[in-house]
Chains A and B, each alone.
Chain A
Amino acid sequence: MKIQRVFFVSVLSLFVSMYTYPFLCAAEEPGTLLMKTIDSGLSVLKEPSLQGPEKVQERRKRLWEEISPIFNFNEMSKRALGLHWKKRTDTEKKEFVELFTNILKDAYIGKTDTYSGEKIVFLKEKQDEKKYATVQTKIITNTGTEVLVDYRMLSNDGKWTIYDVIIEGVSLVNNYRSQFNNILTKSSFADLIQKIKDKKG
Chain B
Amino acid sequence: MVLRLDGKYNTYIGKLYGRQAMRKYAYVTWFFVLTLFFPLAILWAESISERVPVVSSLETISDSKTSDSDIQNKNEETEEPEPEETEEMSEVTQVKDPLQSVNRAMFAFNDKAFHYFFKPIYTGYNSMIPVQARVSVKNFYTNIKMPISFFNCLFQSNFKGAGTEMLRFVVNSTIGVGGFLDPAKSRFHINKQERDFGQTLGKYKMEPGTYLVLPFLGPSTSRDAIGLAGDAVLNPLTWVSYFFLTPIESLGNYTYDSVNDLSIDTGNTYESITKPAIDPYIAVQDAYIQNRKKKVKD
Contacts and interface: CB of A to CB of B under 8 A. Distances in A.
Interface of A: 78-79, 82-84, 103-104, 106-108, 111, 142-145, 168-171, 174-183, 185-186, 192, 195-196, 199
A172 B109 CA distance: 25
Contact of A180 (B79, B131, B278): B278
A177 B92 contact: yes
A82 B131 contact: no
A179 B282 CA distance: 6
B277 A181 contact: no
A60 B109 CA distance: 34
A174 B286 contact: yes
B131 to A, nearest CB: 6
A178 B93 contact: yes
B20 to A, nearest CB: 41
Interface stretch (B8-16, B213-221, B224-232, B290-298): B290-298
Given A83-B90, A185-B64, A143 B276 contact: no
Contacts of A178: 92-93, 95, 282-283, 285-286
Contact of B278 (A79, A82, A179): A179
Given A83-B58, A83-B90, A143-B264, A183 B293 contact: no
Nearest to B266: A114
Interface of B: 57-58, 61, 64-65, 69, 72-73, 76, 79, 88-93, 95, 131, 134-135, 182, 185-186, 264-265, 272-273, 275-279, 282-283, 285-287, 290-291, 293-295
B279 A182 contact: yes
Given A103-B276, A111-B272, A174-B91, 12 more contacts: A83-B79, A83-B90, A107-B272, A108-B276, A143-B134, A168-B291, A169-B295, A170-B294, A178-B286, A179-B279, A182-B279, A185-B61
14 contacts: A82-B89, A82-B91, A82-B92, A84-B61, A107-B276, A143-B264, A145-B264, A170-B286, A170-B291, A175-B273, A178-B93, A182-B279, A185-B61, A195-B278
B135 A143 contact: yes
Contacts of A186: 65, 69
Contacts of B57: 83
B279 A183 contact: yes
B92 A181 contact: yes
Per CB-CB distance, the 6 closest pairs between chain A and chain B, nearest first, are A169-B294, A107-B276, A178-B286, A170-B290, A170-B287, A179-B282
